[in-house]
Amino acid sequence: MKIKFMAIKETQNNTTSSRITRFLGSCLVLGVPALILFAFVFSPKDDTMEDAVRLLYIHVPVAIFSYIAFGITAIGSIFYLWKRSRWWDTTAHASAEIGVMFCALTLITGSIWGRPTWNTWWEWGDVRLVTTLVMFLMFIGYLALRQVPASPEVRAKRAAIVGIIGTINIPIVNRSVEWWENSTLHQQSSLTDGNLEDLTLFTWFLGTLIIGIAYLWLLIHRFRVGWLATEYEAQGYGVAIEERQAEARAHNTETSGHLEEGEVE
Amino acid sequence: MEFRDAWSIARKDLRIELRSRVLTNQIAPFTLLIVVLFGFALDADTQTLRDTGPGLFWVAVLLIALLAIQRAVQIEDADAARERTLLTPVSPSSVFLGKSIALFIQLVALEVLLFFVMLALFNLSVGNPLLICLSALVATIGVATSGTLYGVITAGVGVRETLLPILLLPVLAPIAIGATRAFGDAFDRVDADGWAWLGLLAVFAVVYTVLGMFAYGQLVEDT
Amino acid sequence: MSHLGYLIAGWAIGIGVPTLYAIYILSRGRKLADKVPPERQRWISSTEEQSRITDGQG
């Protein structure tokens, strides 16, 4: 199940970059200006929303990928509890952090878009708004739990359970909010009704692609940072061992090799 | 897993509560304080208080629940009581049920107090007593089970007091909405189908009871 | 162009925040990579997984 490019460090230059992240990064360097160009210049303005529609080319992709990111966190949590592998735990954590950022952006850009379009910054009656806000708060709690000092296994297990419960809770929250006000200002998907112009459609897909690449790029880097952080933490716990090792190395290389195997993980 | 085991765990927690009197001497007065604060904040205007009564009731319940949950975790901090419970032949699911039952009984007692105080001070009139009772009981099952689960997640953590609210309150959002609507209907304040909301509260209660029974053992092992 | 202020604000936040986050992640990665010895910088957990991946079956 492990994805190869995330599993192997290909470089020795003391960064979290590798060939794949450099490739994704280059795509972003070219893609983001292209997206801005398409969103602001090439794509036509909407009949009803006028130019405010241009905000949606970032709002919707970011919203989609915040949901995907939390989904990955849930999958990572389930796999952690099943396989007890640090790989999945680190993936879940990395994805949750990016998901929270994307979720915040979704709320902010949505709010900015809502002001000229719906004439309000916030609408309590809207199902998606309130569900997204509750989800955002839930995963803020998840990240807070991960910051608490504890042994890696305990922390991972607790976080995994919170991650899974949080995801199970999303449909319940959604249902309750829907019954609560039973309304949404969000329009039904405009993609399916076939009324979109080609350039608008293309800009949607470009935005989704770019944000998807950004998510992947961030996920890989954040995963590696998380992995290194755990290694560093383990190093901290094993400082005494390291010192003994250094002493031993000075005298006898065989002994040090032996000690390394028993190093604290 | 037997109900009898769960009940003896619940009795243990309740007995500790009866002897320490934290519930009656600290949490119950806090309940009254919240009601008074709402009165101050909403400017003694009984019409506003009547309209917002159902919501205020459940906000108060969630705040009280946070205290009660902290207390339920705290009584097992000393002498590694949580770990020692595992040494008994009682299964973790029974321990979870027992602790939830104890929390449930305490919360219901506080809710009864809160209810009559609010009824008197806010001048509320009850339209549908059966709906009030049922929705309060079912919602409290949800609060008690999810509270017990999150209580043990934050157990043994140095920053428990601050961590528990941000973890638990978003999860309780469906309760806050559902129970408020059901109460609103029962008080004839809003035009909502209280019985449908009772169904949602029941789903929440069942989901968290099942989740808690599965997860509790896992969580307790390593605190 | 209508709503220009809203558009600029939204896009500036939408691109600026992830950029700042990316810079933060990169610098954190650089700092940590300096502290962790290279032989511990493989993104895998057990020696079994290591050999599996170096064998090209990962």
The pLDDT profile of chain C, 58 residues, written as one tens digit per residue, is 777 888 899 999 999 999 999 999 999 988 888 887 777 776 643 344 444 444 443 3
Residue B122 tokens read as 């806010």
Give the chains touching B; criterion: ≥3 Cβ pairs < 8 Å.
Answer: A
| Domain span at C13 | 4-54
| Domain span at A103 | 59-185
Task: From B178, B206, B144, B142, select the one nearest B55 (Cα to Cα).
Answer: B178
Which of B143, B148, B166 to probe the A interface (max A CBs under 10 A)? Answer: B166
Helix, strand, or coil (residue A48): coil
Nearest-angstrom CA–CA distance, B143 and B125: 25
Neighbours of A180 (CB within 10 A): 20
- Mean residue pLDDT across chain A: 81
**For chain B, what is the radius of gyration of the CA atoms?**
18
- Chain C touches chain A, with at least 3 Cβ pairs below 8 Å, answer yes
Whether A78 and chain B come into contact, CB under 8 Å, resolves to no
φ/ψ of A183, rounded to 5, equals: -155, 155
| Amino acid at residue number B92 | P
| A238 and A121 in a common domain | no
* Domain end marker among A185, A214, A235: A185
pLDDT range class, residue A169, cuts 50, 70, 90: confident
Nearest-angstrom CA–CA distance, A26 and A53: 28
Q: Please report residues of A whose CB lies closer than 8 A to that of C29.
A: 15-16, 221, 224-225, 228
How many A-B residue pairs are in contact by the CB < 8 A criterion?
A: 75
Q: In the predicted model, is pLDDT for residue B207 greater than 80?
A: yes
pTM of the predicted model as reported, rounded to 2 decimal places? 0.82
| A123 and A237 in a common domain | no
Whether A138 and chain B come into contact, CB under 8 Å, resolves to yes
Query: Cβ of B197 and A173 within 8 Å?
Result: no
Nearest-angstrom CA–CA distance, A176 and A187: 20
Q: In the predicted model, is pLDDT for residue A17 greater than 90?
A: no
Q: In the predicted model, is pLDDT for residue B222 greater than 50?
A: yes
Helix, strand, or coil (residue A149): coil
Query: Could you tell me if residue A213 is inside a domain?
Result: no
Highest mean predicted confidence (pLDDT) among A218-222, B78-82, C28-32: A218-222
pLDDT range class, residue B195, cuts 50, 70, 90: confident
Q: In the predicted model, is pLDDT for residue B148 greater than 90?
A: yes
The number of folded domains in chain A is: 2
Contact A163, A76 (CB under 8 A): yes
Query: Could you tell me if residue A102 is inside a domain?
Result: yes
Domain locations in chain B as residue ranges: 3-220
Contact B54, B187 (CB under 8 A): yes
For tokens 């809207």, what's the residue?
A: A126
Query: Could you tell me if residue A166 is inside a domain?
Result: yes
Instruction: Give the mean pLDDT of B149-160.
Output: 85
Nearest-angstrom CA–CA distance, A228 and A71: 24
Whether A183 and chain B come into contact, CB under 8 Å, resolves to no
Query: Could you tell me if residue A198 is inside a domain?
Result: no
Whether B219 and chain A come into contact, CB under 8 Å, resolves to yes
ipTM: 0.84
Assign residue A126 a region (left: φ > 0; alpha: ψ between -120 and 50; beta: otherwise): beta
Query: Could you tell me if residue A82 is inside a domain?
Result: yes
Chain B residue closest to A163 (CA)? Answer: B167
* Helix, strand, coil percentages, rounded to 5, for chain A: 80, 0, 20
Smallest Cα distance from B173 to chain A, Å: 7
Q: What is the pLDDT of residue A182?
A: 56
Whether B158 and chain A come into contact, CB under 8 Å, resolves to yes
Nearest-angstrom CA–CA distance, B219 and B213: 11
The residue that leads in pLDDT, A5 or A236, is A236
Query: Could you tell me if residue A40 is inside a domain?
Result: no
For tokens 């509260």, what's the residue?
A: B201
Q: In the predicted model, is pLDDT for residue A238 greater than 60?
A: yes
